[in-house]
Amino acid sequence: MLSRLQLTDIILIINGVSLAVQIFYYLWYYSAVGFKQIPKKKNTDIPVSVIICARNEENNLRQFLPQILTQDYPNYEVIVVNDASTDNTESLLKNYSDQYKHLKFTTITKDKRFTHSKKLAVLVGIKAAKNEWLLFTDADCKPVSDQWIRLMARNFTKKTSIVLGYGGFIPQKGLLNNFVRYESFFIAVQYLGFALRGRPYMGVGRNMAYRKPLYYEICKHNYFVKLASGDDDLLVNHLAGKNNTRVETDPRTKTLSTPPQSWRQWFLNKKRHITTARYYTKISKWLLGGEMFFRILFFLSVGFLFFLPVSWFIPAGAVIVRWIIMGIVFGYAEKRLAEKQLLLSSLIYDIFIPFIYFIIWLTNLSRTAKISW
């Protein structure tokens, strides 16, 4: 049996190691978003196909599509795939296509014999695109400026195959909105930071671009075809690398999506997204899982130390040091990505999110993801 003193020493070591690992992640990977100097690129007029998939998105398309159709860019088309909508989406698209000649749309009719996920709509949109470079966003999403396409396209070099951008949520009142905005911001700091350090592992379909051949390449893998979602994640995870991926952090390229309106909606969306993680490369699993593991270990060890015979200054000091580093890193990242009012609340969410993710992961173990749009 371990004595109380021996147990205290073990917990202190665990606390110190986990804190050191956390500091490494913040100072190396996460700091890249706010501190790393990204070389300026030259503007270009390379042809771009913007692809949007929509199912019963009449209201969102009416509100957001004009902001995409009026981008300050000379050579682009917008392709909207109307996926078996039962509202007036098709009529709306017909009216817009008469007004904007660079808008194309196609409709997938509903078939009672089988159901399909968004993956089919994405494939239809890609096949309809006439350009090699594809830029993706969602029907419930809007770019914050008319420079979105221009600034994303300036990354389209001969060596580049993938460009990652930032997609946040529209600010609204309430705890749920504040939480989902922080959670999407933190994930962005992760995937953009990893990419800036040469280890891209994911992107978000509401703001990313890639060359058309990459989609057909990832389609060759059986696991990709079987998944109900996660096209953008797995394409980046398996085909992106240090030399073919670029990151765009100019705040004018940010896109904003309609946020979840209930905790249940957020929970179900997160459950679906997490199912993709099992197909990540081993290095991605180790890096992401390691960060989450040591974060949980850190907070658990802090909690134990308050009940062991050590000065409360030690666990409190560890938390304060971590929070100071986190605050500086996130503060600069918020400034670069033009996010506001997330820093203080992030100190609280940071404690609970690893445990929430763990619960979601457990709920996914016994269930197979259903086909959903």
pLDDT tens digits along 177-206: 999 999 999 999 999 999 999 999 999 999
Domain residue spans of the chain: 4-35+283-365, 48-261
pLDDT at 228 over 70: no
pLDDT at 231 over 90: no
Positive or negative CA dihedral for 16, 18, 20, 22?
negative
pLDDT at 372 over 70: no
Who wins on pLDDT, 341 or 322? 322
**What percent of the chain has pLDDT above 70?**
93
Give SS3 for 103: strand
Token pair, residue 83, equals 């996926």
Give the mean pLDDT of the chain: 91
Phi, psi torsion values for 64, nearest 5 degrees: -105, -30
**Crossing angle of helices 4-24/313-337, nearest 10°?**
10
- Cβ atoms of 336 and 34 within 8 Å: the answer is yes
The fold of 48-261 is: Spore Coat Polysaccharide Biosynthesis Protein SpsA; Chain A (3.90.550)
Strand 245-247 and strand 162-164: pairing?
Answer: parallel
Phi, psi torsion values for 354, nearest 5 degrees: -55, -40
Beta strands in 159-300, from DSSP E residues, in sequence order: 162-164, 167-169, 208-211, 245-247, 255-257
Phi-psi region of 338 (alpha: psi -120 to 50; beta: other; left: phi over 0): left
pLDDT at 368 over 90: no
Which of 70-74, 120-124, 175-179, 256-260 is least confident?
120-124
pLDDT at 369 over 60: no
Backbone Cα Rg of the chain: 22
Q: How confident is the model at residue 370 (pLDDT cuts 50, 70, 90)?
A: low
- Cβ atoms of 68 and 79 within 8 Å: the answer is no
pLDDT of 258-314, one tens digit each? 999 999 999 988 888 887 888 899 999 999 999 999 999 999 999 999 988 888 899
Q: How confident is the model at residue 366 (pLDDT cuts 50, 70, 90)?
A: low
| Contacts within 8 Å (CB) and 24+ apart, 341-350 | 341/171, 341/178, 342/178, 342/181, 342/182, 342/185, 345/178, 345/179, 345/182, 346/182, 346/185, 346/186, 347/323, 349/179, 349/182, 349/183, 349/186, 350/186, 350/295, 350/326
- Cβ atoms of 136 and 54 within 8 Å: the answer is no
- Cβ atoms of 51 and 122 within 8 Å: the answer is yes
Amino acid at 252: R
pLDDT at 367 over 90: no
148: Cβ contacts below 8 Å, ≥ 6 apart: 68, 71, 252, 253, 255
Q: How far lies 26's CA from each of 91, 139, 323, 356, 368, in Å?
A: 49, 33, 11, 21, 34
| Residue 362 burial (CB count, 10 A) | 9
Spatial distance between the Cα atoms of 276 and 230, rounded to a whole number of angstroms: 6
Spatial distance between the Cα atoms of 78 and 149, rounded to a whole number of angstroms: 11
pLDDT score at 354: 87
Q: How confident is the model at residue 241 (pLDDT cuts 50, 70, 90)?
A: very high
